[in-house]
Homo-oligomer: A and B are copies of this chain.
Amino acid sequence: MDIYDKKDKFFVAVDCIIFGFDKGKIKLLVFNRKIDPFKGAVSLVGSFVRIGETVSEAAVRILKEFTGLENVYMKELSTYSSVDRDPGYRCISVAQYALIRIDNDIKTLIEERGAKWFDIENIPELVLDHNEMVMDALERIQKIARYEPIGFELLPKKFTIPQLQTLYEAIYRRKLDPRNFRKKILSLDVIIKLHEKDKTGSKKGAFLYKFDYKKYIDLQKSGYNFEI
């Protein structure tokens, strides 16, 4: 007889809160459940952790199974453990979030599997406590965006300064001054101007930039103040 014999055991799940950015809006990745429980309802990407993997490995596996996405760097948000959060079973969920670049490959992958993007200003009713998780994740990224160059992860590899500004405006939910924004971003010295223009946004066209990843990593480490 050993102390562990008397202890309770739990189902442990992970739920992935995946944000993207497309057409000036922040999007959330969700899918329609095809099986019970909650068949037909809208849910975050999530499932159960297996005995032989860590929570973080489970998140990677589950995201891949549901959406085909790979190489997504997720961070832990929080655990959700209300006794009645899942009405049928006692299950603790560890929510993980990530910000990803939505490119055409990803669009195709995701559509094939029946997942879809919802504008975060207009998120539908989700199963269980998933709406609460999403709200917490949004709060988290708003907070983090003030101190880390988080926004860059959401943009395509080549992007314009007005696009970057639109992204920050979506995160902060307020308008920013284009002159001050440009000055601040350029002063950080983490983006490199290219000799191409993007003409989809205007007739004049805006210069494309790319990240200087090395400097970007340094900036992340130093905890530089990104408040805009």
Residues of A at the B interface (CB closer than 8 Å) are 3-4, 7-12, 35-37, 48-56, 76, 78-79, 81-83, 88-90, 92, 94, 143, 146-147, 223, 225, 227
The count of identical subunits is 2
* With A7-B11, A9-B11, A143-B223 as contacts: A81 and B52 at CB distance below 8 Å: no
- Complex Cα distance A146/B148, Å? 13
- Complex Cα distance A11/B4, Å? 8
A79 close to B94 (CB less than 8 A)? yes
- Complex Cα distance A89/B10, Å? 14
A52 close to B7 (CB less than 8 A)? no
B83 close to A54 (CB less than 8 A)? yes
Apart from A76-B78, A225-B225, what are 6 other A-B pairs with CB-CB below 8 Å?
A4-B88, A10-B11, A52-B83, A54-B82, A146-B147, A147-B147
Chain B: minimal CB distance from A188 (Å): 17
* With A9-B11, A10-B12, A12-B10 as contacts: A3 and B36 at CB distance below 8 Å: yes
Contacts of A76 in B (CB 8 A): 78-79
Smallest Cβ-Cβ distance to A13: which chain B residue: B7
Contacts of A53 in B (CB 8 A): 83
